[in-house]
């Protein structure tokens, strides 16, 4: 099983994963964010990314004001920098996005341990589904994403899940514990 909490797995992954690893090391993003226990989530770690997929980094922050100030200080001069607050399923999140080198980066902070955040849990469930269902299933997910579906709706469609795909995928988490 891949330890997604440590980006070293990217060093031996696909060409894109190796490029992402080198980018994260050279840019020091994880070093700058280390007090927030960052984890790279989303499609790149599990190999279902598209060419324009961004790097999704989740963080745990308990002082949103300090987190926002730090993100502005670290990344505010980067191209297309944006900082905003949103509520996801009743939980506040501070989010920044920016472009650095060839990558679009989105950093997401909530006052929840990173390994308990929905983005991490979705990635773990999706990875296990991909491992169980093989390459054909993985290619179908990618094709649905190319056609415009987001990741979780693509999984839900292929699995025949009804309702909110983000919630329905989390319900599958207990199948993998």
* Cα–Cα dist 159/129, whole Å: 10
Share of the chain above pLDDT 90, in %: 93
pLDDT-derived band at 177, boundaries 50, 70, 90: low
Contact 94, 36 (CB under 8 A): no
Segment 13-30 mean pLDDT: 96
Structure tokens at 138: 């993985």
pLDDT at 173: 82
Contact 138, 151 (CB under 8 A): no
The pLDDT value recorded for residue 175 is: 74
How far apart CA 120 and CA 8 sit, in angstroms, is 17
pLDDT band at 176 (very low <50, low <70, confident <90, very high): low
pTM tops 0.85: yes
Q: What is the pLDDT of residues 43-82, one digit of tens each?
A: 999 999 999 999 999 999 999 999 999 999 999 999 999 9
Answer whether 106's CB lies under 8 Å from 75's CB. no
Q: What is the pLDDT of residue 88?
A: 87
At 53, give phi and psi (nearest 5°): -65, 140
Residues with Cβ within 8 Å of residue 73, at least 6 apart in sequence:
none
User: What are phi and psi for residue 138, nearest 5 degrees?
Assistant: -60, -45
Any alpha helices (H) in 44-150, and if so which ranges?
64-75, 118-146
Backbone Cα Rg of the chain: 16
> Residues with Cβ < 8 Å from 107, sequence gap 6 or more?
33, 38, 57, 58, 59, 71, 75, 95, 96, 97
For 78-130, what is each residue's pLDDT tens digit?
A: 999 999 999 988 899 999 999 999 999 999 999 999 999 999 999 999 999 99
pLDDT of residue 174: 76
């Amino acid at each position: 099983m891949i330890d997604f909490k440590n980006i070293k797995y990217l060093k031996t992954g696909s060409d894109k994963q190796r490029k992402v690893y080198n980018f994260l090391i050279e840019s020091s993003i994880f070093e700058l964010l280390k007090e927030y226990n960052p984890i790279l989530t989303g499609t790149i770690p599990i190999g279902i990314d598209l060419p324009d997929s961004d790097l999704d980094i989740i963080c745990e922050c308990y002082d949103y004001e300090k987190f926002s100030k730090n993100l502005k200080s670290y990344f505010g001069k980067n191209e297309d920098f944006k900082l905003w607050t949103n509520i996801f399923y009743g939980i506040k999140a501070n989010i920044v996005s920016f472009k650095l080198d060839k990558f679009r980066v989105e950093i997401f902070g909530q006052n929840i341990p990173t390994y308990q955040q929905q983005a991490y849990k979705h990635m773990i469930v999706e990875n296990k589904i991909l491992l169980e269902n093989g390459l054909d299933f993985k290619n179908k997910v990618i094709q649905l994403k190319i056609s415009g579906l987001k990741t979780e709706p693509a999984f839900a469609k292929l699995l025949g899940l009804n309702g909110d795909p983000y919630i329905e995928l989390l319900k599958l988490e207990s199948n993998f514990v």
